[in-house]
Amino acid sequence: MADDIYDVIVIGAGPGGYVAAIRATQLGLKTACVEKSGLGGTCLNIGCIPSKALLESSQIYHQAMSTLSRHGVIAKEVSLDLPAMMARKSEIVKRMTGGIRGLFRKNKVTHLQGLGHLAGEGVVEVTDGKDAGSHRAKHIVIATGSVPVELPNLPFDGEFIVSSTEALTFDVVPEKLVVIGGGAIGLELGSVWDRLGSEVSVLELMPQIVPGMDSELAGQLQKSLEHQGISFCLESKADTAEVKDGHVHITLSEKGGERHSEVCDRLLVAVGRRANVEGLGAREAGVDVDERGRIVVDHAYKTSVEGVYAIGDVISGPMLAHKAEEEGVAVVELIAGKAGHVNYDAVPGVVYTHPELASVGLTEEQAREKFGEVKIGRFPFMANGRAHSLEDTEGMVKMIADAKTDRVLGVHILGGRASEMLSEAVLAMEFSSSAEDIARTMHAHPTLPEAMKEAAMAIDNAAIHI
């Protein structure tokens, strides 16, 4: 047993865990972070960062083949160097994960390499790594994240029937790619390979893509992606998949029970992620998990075991890096006796397709159900000067406010740079702002956020440029 007693041991160094560990040392807590694989977790190694790197590269390739000429830029003989594109992605991952190592050093977080599991009161046993051994802590934070959901009828084989992890590393562009799941991950990776030349079909069980997001804008996003060449099959499911002669043969059931088959080179199953408690010894230690395998916590992230907390993808709530980070900060602030808090009414969410769909707060449907009368302001990028200069006029800002109080209840943006515009809406919601507050705030011209101001003005039928 190591002599050191830590104030906090965090298990998992994803955005939840590494942020918790750094914040804990800032608060004067002696902290270690156990990681079995790469620092930065899913997000930096096989999630947010590599996917955005490929989205950016593939969009540039697509633009070089299409819209660049509208700027008067003629790119002759554009061709794809997929190994170079993948190498750039890997280099970014290396740089970012190296950054976490540096942050750990700077903040004096002890990095324990290996698989951590709960081994009795205040003890974390580390195995399978260079820091194997027992480590004691007053508080243990579980931040072990999530793994892709595998469908029993379409098991992953790592080559033909794959999860997002392998779809980030294909070494050739598949001629035909079928994506099961029209959520953020399926649409983002579908977009990457569509832009690089694959024929992409997306199959979604629900009647709309990106289920849970505002249906009006989700419908517009679908049309836009269809225009880019992606085909959609909604209210459908894949029944079986068999790999024969290097191709995947899939049988599908459409709405109404009609069945048909498809053949593709690669099948990406992106139907969601599940909490990861493998090898953690959570159940054996008495940590309660719910029916979906997520660790159950109270408002202070306490599990059913005294001194053990959990945050991020391994607990309930949206599986997003920034949600995990906020919880990482909140949990250690609470441990340190401060008032850590996360506002779950203002969790932003972005689908990084082109156009992007960025969203915070209630959808129109949810707002009407909860508040009855609501006011909606819409402003299209077609009426925004900067969008024209960027040659990117698709989409709109849609703002939803309470009809009685004018308080902003939700903002949904479909547009080329929607992700970069969303923070204004998140801040507005965080400050319980009214639509009029945004409408009367001066916005620099010409900028895309002027569309946010005009959508707020449109709530009161006072938009100027439409």
Ligand X SMILES: Cc1cc2nc3c(=O)[nH]c(=O)nc-3n(C[C@H](O)[C@H](O)[C@H](O)COP(=O)(O)OP(=O)(O)OC[C@H]3O[C@@H](n4cnc5c(N)ncnc54)[C@H](O)[C@@H]3O)c2cc1C
Q: Cβ(360)–Cβ(346) under 8 Å?
A: yes
Cα separation of 57 and 158, whole Å? 24
Q: Does 252 bind ligand X (CB under 6 A)?
A: no
Q: Which of 272, 279, 286, 372 binds ligand X (CB under 6 A)?
A: 279
Please tell me whether residue 427 adopts helix, strand or coil conformation. Answer: helix
Q: How far is the CB of 136 from ligand X (least distance, A)?
A: 16
274 binding ligand X? (CB under 6 A): no
The reply on whether position 116 binds ligand X by CB under 6 A is: yes
The answer to whether residue 282 forms part of the interface with ligand X (CB under 6 A) is: no
Under the criterion CB under 6 A, does residue 285 sit at the interface with ligand X? no
Q: Does 185 bind ligand X (CB under 6 A)?
A: yes
The smaller minimum CB distance to ligand X, of residues 33 and 429, is found at 33
Radius of gyration in angstroms for the set of CA atoms belonging to the chain, rounded to a whole number: 23
Nearer to ligand X, 47 or 449 (CB): 47
418 near ligand X, judged by CB under 6 A: no
Burial label, 292 (beta-carbon count in 10 A; 0-12, 13-18, 19+): exposed
What single DSSP character describes residue 428? H
> Which region, judged by CB under 6 A, interacts with ligand X, from 79-87, 249-257, 321-329, 420-428?
321-329
Should residue 395 be labelled a site residue for ligand X when binding is judged by CB under 6 A? Answer: no
Considering the candidates 71, 260, 388, 445, report the single residue annotated as catalytic: 445
Prior bond of 446 cis (ω within 30°): yes
CB of 191 within 8 A of CB of 179?
Answer: no
Contacting ligand X (CB under 6 A), which of 8, 10, 24, 34? 34
Choosing from 58, 144, 208, 434, the residue that interacts with ligand X (CB under 6 A) is 144
Tell me the angle at which helices 15-26 and 82-107 cross, rounded to the nearest 10 degrees. 30
| Cα dihedral 167/171/177/179 (nearest 10) | 0
Q: Is residue 348 involved in binding ligand X (CB under 6 A)? A: no
Query: Contact at 8 Å (CB) between 217 and 353?
Result: no
Q: Rule CB under 6 A: is residue 186 a binding residue for ligand X?
A: no
Verify whether residue 445 is a known catalytic residue. yes
Q: Are strands 5-11 and 31-35 parallel, antiparallel or unpaired?
A: parallel
Pairing between β-strand 308-310 and β-strand 115-118 as defined by DSSP bridges: unpaired
User: Interface with ligand X by CB under 6 A: which range of 35-43, 201-209, 329-337, 385-393?
Assistant: 35-43
- Half-sphere CA count of 79, side-chain side, radius 13 A: 3
What residues are annotated to the active site?
A: 445
Residues contributing to the site for ligand X (CB under 6 A): 11-17, 34-37, 41-43, 46-48, 51, 115-117, 143-146, 164, 185, 276, 279-280, 312-313, 319-322, 324, 352
